[in-house]
A = this chain, B = another copy of it.
Amino acid sequence: MLSVEPDFCLPLAAGGRTGLLLAGAGGLLNDLADVKLAPAGIDGREYSILAILKADSPGSQLEISRLLGKAPALVVAAIDDLEARGLVARTRDPADRRRSRVTITAAGAKALDEGDKLADALVVELFPGLDAGEIQQLQDLLAKGLSLGLPDWARAS
């Protein structure tokens, strides 16, 4: 009898170690994201940025940088790319002309929607041993356990 070999796997050592399991799953996800999201026309980082624009309403690019946990220079370059492709728009904040308000365009929202579908499919593919209900359980535990959103003291204005 022919058994289907798993495409992605983690060492047995991860079995009893929550840290290795999480870091491993996250690493696999990051490695695969760029390829799997390609049909949506965005890479993993751009997907994260679009999602942040929609859900977190950041008041400046610096705030995006903090939410993303990456250096500002990186975000600037990424937003440059997204803007050139019409997925986001930059407008100066009239109240403080140093700040760039970044907003998601209709094209950007469409790319984000496609990205969401592809990302969900990737998660399903990564967890061959879980059914839909268990994946939902996993998501609920993560969302409940982690601190989401920037603390007020780190928010612009």
Interfacial residues, chain A to chain B (CB-CB below 8 A): 5-6, 8-31, 33, 44, 48, 51-52, 54-56, 67-69, 116, 119-120, 122-123, 126-130, 134-135, 137-139, 141-151, 153
Contact = CB atoms under 8 A, between A and B. Distances in A.
A20 B119 contact: yes
Contacts of A31: 69
Given A119-B17, A141-B141, A11 B52 contact: yes
A141 B137 contact: yes
- Complex copy number for this chain: 2
Contacts of A116: 17
Contacts of A68: 11
Contact of A30 (B17, B23, B142): B23
Given A22-B22, A51-B11, A119-B17, A129 B149 contact: no
Nearest to A126: B146
B134 A141 contact: yes
5 contacts: A13-B56, A23-B33, A25-B26, A28-B69, A126-B146
Contacts of A144: 129-130, 134
- Most chain-B Cβ atoms within 10 A of its Cβ — which of A33, A123, A146? A146
